[in-house]
Amino acid sequence: MALEDAKNEVDVAFGGRGPRGYAYENAFAGATSFLRRRYTKDLTGVDLAITGVAFDQAVTNRTGTRFGPRAIREASTLQPYDRPFGWGFDPLEELTVVDYGDLAFDYARTAEFPARLTAHVAGILAAGAGALTLGGDHSITLPILRAHAAVFGPLSVVQFDAHSDLWVDDDPGRIDHGTFMYKAVKEGLVDPARSVQVGIRTDTPDWLGMNVIDARTAHEQGPAAVAARVHAIVGHHPTYLTFDVDALDPAFAPGTGTPVWGGLASWQAAAILRDLAGLNLVGGDVVEVSPPYDPSGITAVAGAHVAYELICLYGWRRRKE
């Protein structure tokens, strides 16, 4: 850490030294943008926009993920001092990353929410930036996939999750975090043959052709084998990565709405994500962080680390190109 900078920097989210580089203000003070990136609605020259979606009105059990984006941003203040371990490059120096703020929506008009979110993400993509979303419950991924598929066509999806979210739901008016992937496949947004779900440990009547690496397989075969299989399935196809924090075992992420035992450990998730370097990642999200159920904040810390890894994955392929 540059001690002189730490002594003099504060609220760099509203100014600072420029759109790139590290931030050294005290982790416990200042405006909590993600990784202390600049808050802005100007996407000129931006590589990646971080945006929050504080929506949790589609959950089957415990609410609270509306507070996820705020908690993840706060947890991320521990990270912007130096480059992420193990990657060998400086994403905050090589990419222009900004915090685009949160989606505005009327909480009392739930039916209008999906289209509003799709338009929000579509605007980011139209400006030439990538979008990384902090949720929110997992229902938000469906509107986001609609925006991405409109640009890239049917996507490969890498989904870290305890649940497949493939429960049958043919009612277009329903918004449900347990059925978003069913609808995404049925709408042709996702190519299931080139997609994979990692960490699954709940049953599903119909997998709709999705590839599955369940939690036990991940434990027995190890992170390197899991990542290799993901690469083999996805190839170089445009890929969206969605990370439901309940992919982690409740011991590592208790702050979530539908926890299931037997999940991934934090070290396993970190190793898999780093071994996914080279994916043609076009977007991603971190969802289901519910701070009210985790006073320690370790779930938000996990969410912040996952989001930083997604920045690295997004930047890795672009720097190679």
**pLDDT tens digits along 276-290:** 999 999 999 999 999
Q: 163 among the known binding-site residues?
A: yes
Q: 169 among the known binding-site residues?
A: no
**Predicted confidence (pLDDT) per residue in 109-133, tens digit:** 999 999 999 999 999 999 999 999 9
Check pLDDT > 90 for residue 275: yes
Q: How confident is the model at residue 180, as a pLDDT?
A: 96
Q: 82 among the known binding-site residues?
A: no
Q: How confident is the model at residue 99, as a pLDDT?
A: 97
Percentage above 90 pLDDT, the chain = 86
* 15 band by pLDDT with thresholds 50, 70 and 90: confident
Q: 294 among the known binding-site residues?
A: no
Check pLDDT > 80 for residue 7: no
Q: How confident is the model at residue 2, as a pLDDT?
A: 58
Q: How far apart are CA 37 and CA 213, in angstroms?
A: 35
Q: Which residues contact 303 (CB under 8 A, 6 or more apart)?
A: 68, 71, 72, 75, 134, 245, 286, 289
For the beta sheet containing 239-244, the strands, ordered from the edge strand earlier in sequence to the opposite edge, are 97-102, 48-53, 130-135, 281-287, 239-244, 156-160, 196-200, 211-214
Q: 165 among the known binding-site residues?
A: yes
Q: 161 among the known binding-site residues?
A: yes
Check pLDDT > 60 for residue 173: yes
* Strand extents, DSSP E, the chain: 48-53, 97-102, 130-135, 156-160, 196-200, 211-214, 239-244, 281-287
* 17 band by pLDDT with thresholds 50, 70 and 90: low
Check pLDDT > 80 for residue 1: no
* 9 band by pLDDT with thresholds 50, 70 and 90: confident
Q: How far apart are CA 244 and CA 265, in angstroms?
A: 14
Q: How far apart are CA 138 and CA 246, in angstroms?
A: 11
**Predicted confidence (pLDDT) per residue in 56-111, tens digit:** 999 999 999 999 999 999 999 999 998 999 999 999 999 999 999 999 999 999 99
Domains of the chain, start order: 3-320 (3.40.800.10)
- Mean predicted lDDT score pLDDT of the chain: 95
**Predicted confidence (pLDDT) per residue in 144-157, tens digit:** 999 999 999 999 99
